């Protein structure tokens, strides 16, 4: 999740230094494999100083060396952003999807108060952009609903695209079916609210089971964590399964994550955390992007995620345990 604090974003078009957990500075990472590389679209990123006015992308073939893919979208390219009359605006929590040879980046625009938060979408012919905003917000918050943290999931069975968004103070998740063009809402789908939901929804499918995972707690506190629920469809009804990623002695507030399936069929979780000992909130400093393995039990449940550091972090290709 967000925020309008100063984050770091490396925009040099060079290969970054060798990195292990934590991989680099940033938050809210949306990760996916593209042509054998893991791409990460975060709020913030490696190098430089940045004040929530653009998104970048980064990719790696081995989870050791990261290549900056440059700026994919800047705040000054979003012409409608000032229509709410707010004096400041901030970008966070990008979500990326692809269909029919096009790429789509969905993103949050703050503030939440006194004007409602909004979700925008921009389109590109390539994952690295440049992305062209469609000219208007896709979703606008209000009446207790915060339009934040968008994620789009294209169901491999039906090929229907679903937009999941919302959370934080209102802690309300909403789901819409998108039209084939990926930039028009076809209808909203009523859902049962998942227990312990705060923000940062993410959906993936494995062996016919749909997993809705999300962040719980305060974004800058030790209670921030990842929980999940399962269903037989992308829109529920959801059965709560519990927490899978929580603070430990060396890492605090892990959350706002994404799941990514490797070319070999294994699974990773990409998330942010505060690398520090336990202590009172609010945490200070910057969050770090980390990557760890996901293991499933025989019944399909997700085993608790073990956070790693340094050389214990996974690399590609994954070595079977």
Residue from 41, 55, 56, 44 nearest 8 by CA: 44
Q: What angle do CA 69, 167, 274 make, to 5 degrees?
A: 55
pLDDT given at position 2: 47
How far is it, in rounded angstroms, from Cα 122 to Cα 314?
32
Residue from 199, 228, 198, 200 nearest 213 by CA: 228
Rounded to the nearest 10°, the torsion over CA 227, 231, 235, 239 is -50
pLDDT given at position 285: 87
**Domain ranges for the chain:** 15-294
Residue from 120, 44, 114, 115 nearest 77 by CA: 120
Q: What is the DSSP string of 65-124?
A: EEEEEEEEEEGGG-TTTTTT--S--EEEEEEEEEETTEEEEEEEEE--SSSPPEEEEEEE
How far is it, in rounded angstroms, from Cα 175 to Cα 188?
6
In this structure, are strands 118-124 and 132-133 parallel, antiparallel, or unpaired?
A: antiparallel
pLDDT given at position 108: 96
Per the confidence metrics, is the pTM higher than 0.75? yes
The answer to whether residues 117 and 1 touch, using CB atoms and an 8 Å cutoff, is no
Residue from 129, 133, 130, 167 nearest 150 by CA: 167
Residue from 25, 29, 27, 15 nearest 65 by CA: 15
Residue from 58, 12, 54, 52 nearest 32 by CA: 58
How far is it, in rounded angstroms, from Cα 273 to Cα 168?
17
Per-residue pLDDT of the chain (321 residues; tens, 9 = 90+): 544 433 344 434 345 556 689 999 999 999 999 999 999 999 987 654 455 889 999 999 999 999 999 999 999 999 999 999 999 999 999 999 999 999 999 999 998 888 999 999 999 999 999 999 999 999 999 998 999 999 999 999 999 999 999 998 778 999 999 999 999 999 999 999 999 999 999 999 999 999 999 999 999 999 999 999 999 999 999 999 999 999 999 999 999 999 999 999 999 999 999 999 998 999 988 899 999 999 999 999 999 999 999 989 999 988 666
pLDDT given at position 47: 56
The token pair at 26 is 């940033």
The token pair at 293 is 């393995």
pLDDT given at position 20: 87
Q: Going by CATH, does the domain composed of 15-294 fall within 3.90.1150.10? A: no
State whether residue 168 is helix, strand or coil: helix
Q: How far is CA 46 from CA 2, 58, 147, 223, in A?
A: 17, 9, 27, 26
């Amino acid at each position: 999740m967000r925020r309008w604090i100063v984050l770091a974003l490396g925009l040099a078009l060079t290969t970054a230094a060798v990195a292990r957990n934590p991989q680099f500075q940033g938050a809210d990472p949306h990760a996916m494999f593209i042509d054998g590389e893991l791409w990460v679209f975060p709020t913030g990123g490696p190098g430089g100083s940045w004040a929530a006015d653009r998104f970048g992308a980064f990719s790696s073939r081995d989870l050791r060396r990261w290549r900056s893919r440059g700026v994919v979208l800047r705040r000054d390219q979003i012409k409608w952003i000032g229509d709410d009359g707010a004096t400041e605006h901030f970008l966070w929590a990008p979500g990326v999807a692809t269909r029919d040879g096009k790429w789509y980046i969905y993103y949050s625009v703050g503030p939440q108060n006194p004007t409602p938060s909004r979700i925008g979408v921009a389109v590109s012919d390539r994952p690295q952009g440049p992305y062209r905003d469609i000219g208007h917000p896709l979703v606008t918050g209000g009446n207790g609903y915060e339009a934040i943290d968008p994620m789009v999931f294209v169901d491999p069975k039906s090929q229907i695209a679903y937009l999941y968004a919302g959370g934080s103070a209102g802690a309300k998740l909403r789901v819409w079916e998108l039209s084939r063009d990926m930039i028009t809402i076809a209808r909203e789908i009523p859902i049962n609210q998942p227990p312990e939901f705060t923000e940062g929804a993410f959906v993936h499918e494995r062996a016919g089971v749909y997993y809705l995972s999300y962040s719980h707690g305060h974004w800058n506190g030790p209670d921030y964590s990842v929980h999940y629920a399962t269903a037989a469809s992308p829109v529920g009804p959801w059965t709560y399964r519990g927490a899978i990623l929580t603070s430990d002695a060396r890492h605090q507030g892990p959350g706002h994550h994404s799941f990514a399936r490797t070319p070999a069929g294994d699974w990773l979780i990409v998330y942010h955390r505060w690398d520090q000992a336990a202590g009172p909130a609010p945490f200070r400093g910057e969050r770090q992007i980390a990557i760890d393995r996901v293991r499933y039990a025989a019944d399909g449940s997700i085993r608790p995620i073990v956070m790693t550091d340094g050389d214990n972090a996974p690399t590609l290709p994954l070595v079977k345990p």
